[in-house]
Amino acid sequence: MSAGTDLIESERQRRIRNRWLLSAPALLIILLAATGPLLIVVVYSFLTPGDYGNVKWIFSTEAWFSVPFERDIFDDTVSIASAHLTIFNRSVGLSLVTTLVTLFFGFPTAYFIATRPERTRELWLFLITIPFWTNILIRTFAMLEIIRNEGLINTVLMRLGIISSPIQMLFTDGAILAGMVYVYLPLMVLPLYASMEKIDFRLVEAGYDLYATPRQVLWKIIIPLVKPGIIAGSILVFIPSLGAYVTPSILGGGKNMMLGNLIELQFGQGRNWPLGSALSITLMAIVMIAMLAYVRNAGSQKGGAHG
């Protein structure tokens, strides 16, 4: 009996060992591809800037010091890096507003698709996913053609006699917001639709049968049921918005920078790779904090529900 059990256990361990050996090459590639570049960035953030880009292999924490602070070039006095703070506030603010605006437009869009007959839902989803077929650069230039001084909006308003001169919409925070909403709106619609599709609409009918108002049905029945989709869509929009580079660069014109543009500037014209690396890690830390807050909140809600 004992010998048979030992044989079975030995065979099980052999199978587990073989599985690990077979998956080891793929795991190694994933590990190197995921952590290798990140480790390089971390190392670079603790080095000294090179004279013409790149780095000098001399340990320094100046890059991390320069993220929140700056030194006066004349007397070395230390002050808050107001430019970095402004860009940080703009990035977080625009990302949050982008998330809220896409939720505002994405929620009724997803609800409309989810309430269509099944034979037509695929068509509506197809229309939502069409923008993904086009490069983000092309989509951003399309938005530029709409809001520039000689673009569609100003041309129509001037021909209708509503305005006498073009409205300056390009190279503003509003232009960046409009561009990011246009680019990331499908990322909000699809998770919302995935949650709404699973709703048992008999619950909505029951709410109306119990004399609930449309607002009460929305807040008491629909929103709680699609909350996972709201959270997932918000994360899918907020995270890429925070690190956006192409849209702010084109629609902001270099005057309204976000964190992605600031990081690129350090690796490009600024020739300060350690500072760019430190800013990159800072951006990643912000995203990680947001993700951990979401996971913790979701876990506490599940625990409360089970309790």
The answer to whether residue 283 sits within a structural domain is: yes
What's the confidence (pLDDT) of residue 302? 55
SS percent in the chain: helix, strand, coil, step 5: 75, 5, 20
67, 279 Cβ separation under 8 angstroms: yes
For helices 259-267 and 273-306, angle between their N-to-C axes, nearest 10 degrees: 150
Q: 297 pLDDT band (50/70/90 cuts)?
A: low
Parent domain of 94: 84-306
Strands 48-49 and 55-56 come out as: antiparallel
Residues comprising the chain, all counted: 307
CATH number at residue 106: 1.10.3720.10
The answer to whether residue 30 sits within a structural domain is: no
144, 246 Cβ separation under 8 angstroms: no
Kindly state the helix (H) or strand (E) to which residue 55 belongs, with its residue range. Answer: strand 55-56
pTM of the model: 0.83
For residue range 230-240, list pLDDT tens digits in order.
Answer: 988 998 999 89
The answer to whether residue 225 sits within a structural domain is: yes
Residue 187 per-residue DSSP state: H
Phi, psi of 71 (to 5 degrees): -105, 140
The answer to whether residue 73 sits within a structural domain is: no
The answer to whether residue 74 sits within a structural domain is: no
Positive or negative, the CA dihedral 35, 37, 41, 47 is: positive
DSSP 5-35: HHHHHHHHHHHHHHHHHHHHHHHHHHHHHHH
Nearest to 175 by CA among 154, 147, 135, 137: 147
For residue range 3-29, list pLDDT tens digits in order.
Answer: 667 677 788 888 888 888 888 888 888
Lowest mean pLDDT across 2-16, 40-54, 175-189, 197-211: 2-16
Q: 97 pLDDT band (50/70/90 cuts)?
A: very high
Apex 290 CA angle, 289 and 291, nearest 5? 90
The answer to whether residue 47 sits within a structural domain is: no
What's the confidence (pLDDT) of residue 299? 59
Average pLDDT for residues 166-182, to the nearest whole number?
A: 92
The answer to whether residue 276 sits within a structural domain is: yes
Report d(CA 78, CA 73) in Å as an integer: 10
What's the confidence (pLDDT) of residue 211? 86
Collect all residues with Cβ–Cβ distance below 8 Å to 212 and sequence separation of at least 6: 220, 221
Report d(CA 204, CA 226) in Å as an integer: 13
Report d(CA 103, CA 110) in Å as an integer: 10
The fraction of the chain above a pLDDT of 90, given in percent, is: 43
Structural domains in the chain (count): 1
Residue 79 per-residue DSSP state: E
The answer to whether residue 54 sits within a structural domain is: no
